[in-house]
Amino acid sequence: MLVVKYTHVKTARGGATIKVKTKNILTGEVLEKSYNSSASLEEADVMRKNAQYLYKTQNAFVFMDPVSYEQFELSADLLEGTSEYLKDGDVVQMLFFEGNPVSVDLPNSVIFEVVYTEPGYKGNTVSNVLKDARAANGAVFKVPTFIKIGDKIKIDTRTGEYISKA
């Protein structure tokens, strides 16, 4: 289990409790659990390594260990929701459980080049007007109207929102 969210709750007369939102690293199932503040849990045998993203096959993503040049695949199901932030050659943190890759930790932001977007029209000067922009990897993001083809944009990988021009 991977802890996604952690909350410490202290009531007036009762003891403190810990509420956690966990994600099963093998199945992707999300659960919410509560524990006493005195409870202890066994830590899983996981290892983090850098890995370079190479390419996508029909149902998997192929990564390479930059030290040993060993290649390994990660199922597309395990990368659901985060695969649109991967670019060929990107180095990411990979989580291994019992020697098998189980998840990818992306950086908080990534930079993409805009390959297609509609032009911004004069008069659309309201502060939060957004339009679609397609990145080189095929992902589509909402960006302000002043972004043009060829611009580099910074995207937050946690929310998928535009941050700034890069």
> How confident is the model over 66-111, as pLDDT tens digits?
888 989 888 887 777 788 888 888 888 888 888 888 888 888 888 8
Sign (positive/negative) of CA torsion 36, 38, 39, 40?
positive
CB-CB contact of 101 with 95 (8 Å): yes
Q: Which CATH number fits domain 2-36: 2.30.30.30, 1.10.3720.10, 2.40.50.100, 1.20.1050.10?
A: 2.30.30.30
Categorize the per-residue pLDDT at 64 as very low, low, confident or very high, splitting at 50, 70 and 90: very high
Contact 60, 76 (CB under 8 A): yes
Do the two domains 2-36 and 46-105 of this chain adopt the same fold? no
Domain ranges across the chain: 2-36, 46-105, 109-165
Separation between Cα atoms, residue 68 and residue 55, nearest integer Å: 18
Count of other CB atoms within 10 angstroms of residue 109 = 15
Per cent of the chain over pLDDT 70 is: 92
This prediction's pTM: 0.67
Q: Which two tokens stand for residue 97?
A: 């459980």
CATH class for the region spanning 46-105: mainly beta
CATH code of the domain made up of 109-165: 2.40.50.140
SS3 5: strand
Arithmetic mean of pLDDT, 153-160: 85
H-state helical runs in 72-118 = none
For residue 83, what is the DSSP state? G
pLDDT tier, 12 (very low <50, low <70, confident <90, very high otherwise): confident
Closest residue by Cα to residue 1 from 35, 21, 27, 25: 25
What does the pLDDT look like over 22-42, one tens digit per residue?
877 767 678 888 888 778 877
CA distances from 123 to 42, 62, 103, 117, 128 (A): 59, 45, 45, 18, 13
